Amino acid sequence: MRVADAVAAAKLWLISEGAADLPYLSEGLYALVTVESDAVDTVAADESWRLYVNPAWAGVARVDELGREIAHQLWHLLLDHAGRARAAGVDRATAATWRTASDLGVCDALTDEGVVPERLREHARAVRKARPDLAEGRSTEEYWEQTRTLDSAPLDRGEGDRRARDDTAGAEDADEGSASDGLPRSWELPPEAAGGVEPAQGDDVRRSVALAYRAAVAVRPGHTPGLLDRWAEQVAEPRIPWEYLLAQAARRGVGWTSGRTHTTYARPNRRAASTPGILLPGWRRQNPTVACIVDTSGSVDEEMLGRALGEVEGAVVALGVGGSDLTVLTCDAAVHTVARLRRARDADLVGGGGTDLRVALAALETLRPRPTLAVVFTDGYTPWPDAPPPGCAVIVALLLHAEQAAPDVPGWATVIECRADP
């Protein structure tokens, strides 16, 4: 059987009902580009989603056997083991240990779906037998952290995987391409060669597979969330760090208010000479003034409050808002302090009772100059006014625990959920 036909049959086996029955893998499987190669023992993959298949082995392998090996390499790509290896600082000296860790992660994923290649199962079993303290169901980074601190060398994958190594490239697993650790192999095609998948396209494939997976497991009776569910959630709904979002919102709020202008007859209009006898008003640009309302009730996490204040302070200072234009109000059920400060974190956090931030928002109207941007730091358990203070944009930084449900906040405010690390 031709390699292309064998690979096509194995992909069909993976997605067909009555076989592996994993239709959500379709887009990932058909993104793979098959390359025949004698340099690998069975199947390997590179970062460009090329699937290297040994033609002699593929010619005699069972369809399900080839399908399991393809699924093994596909999950290295879907889990982005190459990119994660670079982020973790993996180099040629530590790559073998990372590959063991990434194989443990793939084995966990394939076990849930019932398509673990036999050699991968044996390898994982041997690793756990040699290292009985190794936890289960962890991320590749956690497996790597546990295994690299041990003195024992990474375990061999069996006699069939022991092939000649390329001296110029360092130790290479014949059946593990750069998809597993981000280190190019001497037998791989260059990234710019025809047929490869660009990194952005790879991200799109991961997201499509993640969305298809979530739709598939939603109808599975008795499904127990596991590793793949966490992966799908992270890929389908990536979370941007709240610190970045909060600083961005503050910069956008300051920029919006600084762009507003007002008419004034105290300044001549530059076009007055062209309209004799008609008095035209001039324009006055408003300098942005920022107010920080700090909820000092007993339910607010002080560590989260400090982090959030620091992000806003850094953003407004970077935009040139001076100390005289930054006002901090502390409030629980009443406003306790109002102070103009050079640093928001210097405020005296007086309070500790119940919460009613309506009084603080109302107090903004009495300040001179009146704030053009208000940033409210609170856990959200407070009554809100029906409308924002006149002429003032409002950002609400909700200080929440990791799994805490966000309380309701009026639609007239920009809301940033600032969650504590789990």
Q: Give the mean pLDDT of 93-113.
A: 90
Q: Which residue has the higher pLDDT, 284 or 371?
A: 371
What are the structural domains, with CATH classification, of the chain? 3-236 (no CATH), 242-267+281-419 (3.40.50.410)
pLDDT of residue 261: 53
pLDDT score at 162? 39
Is residue 299 within 8 A of residue 381, CB to CB? The reply is yes
- Count the residues in the chain: 422
CA atoms within 13 A on the CB side of 91: 2
The region of weakest confidence among 93-97, 155-159, 293-297, 378-382 is: 155-159
H and E: helices and strands count for the chain:
13, 11
Question: Of 391, 255, 242, nearest to 320 (Cα)?
Answer: 255
Give me the amino acid identity at 297. Answer: S
pLDDT at 161: 41
β-pairing, 326-331 vs 335-340, is antiparallel
Residue pair 370/391 in contact (Cβ under 8 Å)? The answer is yes
Residue 280: predicted pLDDT: 79
3-state secondary structure of 400: strand
Which pLDDT belongs to residue 3? 93
pLDDT digits (tens, 9 = 90+) for 233-274: 888 876 666 677 777 777 777 765 554 455 667 667 777 777
Mean pLDDT for the chain? Answer: 81
Does the pLDDT value for residue 18 go beyond 90? Answer: no
